[in-house]
């Protein structure tokens, strides 16, 4: 459906947010939580994972056993927390959500383990950041459902074994490679979450638009999906932002034109790249002849921290084939050059 608009004179005073990134923008918890699917039917994508989980959950119910501990890994925003919530809802159990940086002191992890009830799910995000002491406490808890606590000092020290209710740990990480092998080995199921296809993302977009009570055409949903970097969290944020434009400027309907126009204004390009992503590629091309260059150098030049570059910017740039990781650092691919409209060294005519 075509909506004719008077977009010639754009008068947006809306605060622009150049960083519609999974982990770096202010977290709109209420919104994100309110649209989280609660069952497998409304959870779009990750079909291989869903099929395995349905069987696993059914088997656990039939055997009246707790679920195996599970580890989900993959780039941020692909639905690791969401799938854990779906699992809890399907099993009819409570889920306690925490993240490794919040479990700094032994008493943090002991406290949360002791608060669990039988069958409950403990979700630990960023589990690769768990410290050694917390890991050591977790091993017997995961394996034998016991808490080994030491009381007293050196020679008089005693170990106390406290039984724990049978619980399921769901760990999530963007960096499975950084998990220690003893911890990794204690998970009965390890699954990588994949980037979403445009079709899957457009379904996510349509579902969210419906929850937001905003009209959207199929083409509008696809246009938003195309710029969502394979990530539902980004798709959802973009729907919300485009919906604001639609309500204020375009009679409350998101079609292809409205979606593209709004995303252009938000400086999100056809690949879903944002100013920081383009700045990263540009930097490597202009200052380092296209690379290779170390991630620390890139981070310092962009005034970003290494973790943001590695965990937030890079996964999609690598997956989209715009950036390459080599042993000597990051390199912009010929695709990356093409995307920025710059001739790659191999395309440049040799003059000498
Ligand atoms: N919102 C975020 N992730 C989703 C998914 N996988 N399915 C539906 N809605 C979502």
Does ligand 1 have an atom closer than 6 angstroms to the CB of 207? yes
Domain with CATH 1.10.10.10 in the chain: 275-341
The CA 79 to ligand 1 mean position distance, Å, reads 7
Distance CA(162)–CA(157), nearest Å, equals 16
Does ligand 1 have an atom closer than 6 angstroms to the CB of 37? yes
The CA 328 to ligand 1 mean position distance, Å, reads 37
The domain made up of 275-341 has a fold known as Arc Repressor Mutant, subunit A (1.10.10)
Distance CA(52)–CA(31), nearest Å, equals 29
196-265 CATH, one of 3.30.70.141, 1.20.1430.10, 1.10.8.60, 1.10.3480.10: 1.10.8.60
Q: Which of 22, 195, 221, 232 to mutate to test the pocket of ligand 1 (most atoms within 8 A of CB)?
A: 232
Q: SS3 for 92?
A: coil
Query: Please, are residues 223 and 205 in contact by the beta-carbon 8 Å criterion?
Result: no
Does ligand 1 have an atom closer than 6 angstroms to the CB of 45? yes
Domain with CATH 3.40.50.300 in the chain: 47-192
The CA 76 to ligand 1 mean position distance, Å, reads 13
Top-tier CATH class for 47-192: alpha beta
Give me the residues paired with residue 96 across strands: 122
The CA 36 to ligand 1 mean position distance, Å, reads 6
- In terms of Cβ atoms closer than 10 Å to its own Cβ (0-12, 13-18, 19+), residue 42 is exposed
Does ligand 1 have an atom closer than 6 angstroms to the CB of 234? no
Q: Quote the pLDDT of residue 156.
A: 84
The CA 127 to ligand 1 mean position distance, Å, reads 22
Distance CA(292)–CA(155), nearest Å, equals 55
The CA 136 to ligand 1 mean position distance, Å, reads 34
Does ligand 1 have an atom closer than 6 angstroms to the CB of 22? no
Q: SS3 for 182?
A: helix
Residues in Cβ contact with 177 at an 8 Å cutoff, skipping those fewer than 6 apart: none
- In terms of Cβ atoms closer than 10 Å to its own Cβ (0-12, 13-18, 19+), residue 123 is buried
Q: Quote the pLDDT of residue 280.
A: 97
Does ligand 1 have an atom closer than 6 angstroms to the CB of 119? no
Query: Would you call the peptide bond into 179 cis, given omega within 30 degrees of 0 as the criterion?
Result: no
Nearest CA to 81 out of 112, 48, 126 is that of 126
Six-digit token pair at 95?
């889920």
Six-digit token pair at 143?
């394996």
Query: Please, are residues 221 and 227 in contact by the beta-carbon 8 Å criterion?
Result: no
Query: Please, are residues 302 and 294 in contact by the beta-carbon 8 Å criterion?
Result: no
Query: Model-level pTM?
Result: 0.86
Q: Quote the pLDDT of residue 349.
A: 58
Does ligand 1 have an atom closer than 6 angstroms to the CB of 236? yes
The CA 344 to ligand 1 mean position distance, Å, reads 37
Q: Which of 38, 207, 238 to mutate to test the pocket of ligand 1 (most atoms within 8 A of CB)?
A: 207
Distance CA(328)–CA(294), nearest Å, equals 7
Alpha helices in the chain (DSSP H): 29-34, 47-63, 80-91, 106-114, 132-144, 181-185, 198-211, 218-226, 232-249, 256-265, 275-288, 295-302, 306-307, 314-319, 334-340
Does ligand 1 have an atom closer than 6 angstroms to the CB of 262? no
Does ligand 1 have an atom closer than 6 angstroms to the CB of 44? yes
Per DSSP, the residues of 19-64 read ---TTTS---HHHHHHT---STTT--S-HHHHHHHHHHHHHHHHHT
Q: Quote the pLDDT of residue 288.
A: 97
Calculate the alpha carbon distances from 101 to 50, 108, 128 in Å: 29, 10, 10
Domain with CATH 1.10.8.60 in the chain: 196-265
Would you tell me how many other CB atoms lie within 10 Å of the CB of residue 107? 11
Query: Please, are residues 257 and 3 in contact by the beta-carbon 8 Å criterion?
Result: yes
Q: Which of 32, 38, 41, 45 to mutate to test the pocket of ligand 1 (most atoms within 8 A of CB)?
A: 45
Q: Which of 27, 29, 32, 36 to mutate to test the pocket of ligand 1 (most atoms within 8 A of CB)?
A: 36
List the catalytic residues.
80-81, 125, 174, 233
Q: Walk along the chain (352 residues) and give the pLDDT tens digit of each residue.
A: 222 233 322 222 223 333 344 333 333 467 888 899 999 999 999 999 999 999 999 999 999 999 999 999 999 999 999 999 999 999 999 999 999 999 999 999 999 999 999 999 999 999 999 999 999 999 999 999 999 887 777 788 888 899 999 999 999 999 999 999 999 999 999 999 999 999 999 999 999 999 999 999 999 999 999 999 999 999 999 999 999 999 999 999 999 999 999 999 999 999 999 999 999 999 999 999 999 999 999 999 999 999 999 998 999 999 999 999 999 999 999 999 999 999 988 776 555 5
Distance CA(332)–CA(335), nearest Å, equals 8
Angle formed by the axes of helices 232-249 and 218-226, nearest 10°: 130
């Amino acid at each position: 459906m075509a909506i004719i608009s008077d977009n010639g004179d754009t008068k947006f005073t809306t605060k622009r947010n150049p960083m519609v990134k999974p982990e770096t923008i202010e977290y709109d918890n209420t919104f994100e939580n309110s649209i989280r699917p609660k069952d497998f039917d409304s959870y779009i994508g990750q079909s291989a994972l869903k099929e395995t989980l349905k069987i696993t959950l059914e088997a656990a119910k039939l055997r009246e056993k707790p679920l195996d501990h599970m580890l989900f890994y993959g780039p941020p925003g692909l639905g690791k927390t969401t799938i854990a919530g779906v699992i809890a809802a399907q099993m009819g159990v409570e889920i306690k959500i925490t993240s490794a940086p919040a479990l700094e002191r032994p008493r943090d992890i002991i406290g949360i383990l002791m608060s669990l009830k039988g069958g409950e799910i403990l979700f630990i995000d960023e589990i690769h950041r768990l410290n050694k002491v917390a890991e050591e406490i977790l091993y017997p808890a995961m394996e034998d459902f016991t808490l080994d606590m030491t009381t007293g000092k050196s020679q008089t020290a005693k170990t106390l074994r406290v039984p724990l209710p049978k619980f399921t740990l769901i760990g999530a990480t963007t960096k499975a490679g950084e998990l220690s092998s003893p911890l990794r080995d204690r998970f009965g199921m390890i699954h990588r979450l994949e980037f979403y296809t445009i079709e899957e993302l457009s379904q996510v977009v349509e579902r969210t638009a419906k929850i937001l009570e905003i009209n959207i055409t199929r083409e509008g949903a696809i246009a938003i999906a195309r710029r969502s970097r394979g990530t539902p969290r980004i798709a959802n944020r973009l729907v919300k932002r485009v919906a604001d434009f639609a309500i204020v400027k375009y009679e409350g309907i998101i079609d292809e034109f409205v979606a593209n126009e709004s995303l252009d204004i938000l400086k999100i390009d056809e690949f879903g790249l944002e100013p920081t992503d383009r700045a990263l590629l540009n930097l490597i091309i202009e200052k380092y002849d296209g690379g290779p260059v170390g991630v620390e150098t890139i981070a310092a030049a962009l005034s970003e921290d290494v973790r943001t570059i590695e965990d937030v910017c890079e996964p999609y740039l690598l997956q989209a084939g715009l950036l390459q990781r080599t042993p000597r650092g990051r390199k912009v691919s010929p695709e990356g050059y093409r995307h920025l409209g710059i001739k790659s060294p191999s395309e440049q005519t040799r003059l000498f």
